[in-house]
Structure 1
Amino acid sequence: MDNNVKNAGTTKYRVRYTEDFKHQVCLKFLTGHYTKTALQNQYGIKGKSRLMSWLRELGYISETGIQFMSSPKVAKPRASENASEHIRHLEDALIDAQLQAAIYHKMIEIAERDYQIKIRKNLNTK
């Protein structure tokens, strides 16, 4: 259970489960091989209606009743849009990092020249 839980702890606060774990437990329940109580005992899920709320939240059942819906809500990644946006973001970050490195290099040169502060490591020492 620890691999499937974000904040597993024995505190009075509510435990937060990952989406993958919720889907896994819901699918086991919907196959009919496990009861709600058996899954709660097996995975240590607290709360009487936690599993039913997951079923509603993830789209396995409707809000009004236990009528099974056609397909659960699953987030579909938009690869082409995200990839080009991600590349642009990385290029901007690279330019910023190069500028920052140039500024640090210039600051070190000024400090060593004007204030006689040794900042760079002397590579000749043993």
Structure 2
Amino acid sequence: MEKTERKYVKRTQKDYSMSFKLSVVQEYETTKISLEALKRKYGIQGDSTIRRWIEKYGNFDMRNKSYNHMEKSKDQELFELQQKIKLLERKNARLEKELELKDMKAEFFDMMIDIAEKEYNIDIRKNSFPEQSVNIKKKNP
């Protein structure tokens, strides 16, 4: 069994995408997970990397340990909306594929029922609703 050595590769801020940074900041703000735990979870090397992201992109003031509701810049809002559009487009494409598959399955099952009805000379599908019982008692006022 061969050992694979992990080589240390120094990362820079450019190695992390904006969406990754924002998701890490959002996870910190919503889950209250520690910075060290986030660092280990995502393999982030720098000790102050996440702290800088929180200061830049988050609503948490690291110096005062309190939330400050900062207005988002137009660029940040635009970027977030673009990311949401991409996510919704991927979701829409996936749902369209699922719908197409469901339609194909329904068509296949209809064909199988048609074949079974012809082969065994039986009615599988209901053609009409059952007739209502004639012996229904009417209430007299």
TM range (shorter): 0.3 to 0.5
Instruction: Indicate the structure whose relative CO is greater, using CA pairs within 8 Å and at least 6 residues apart.
Output: 2
TM-score (norm 2): 0.40
Largest Rg, 1 or 2: 2
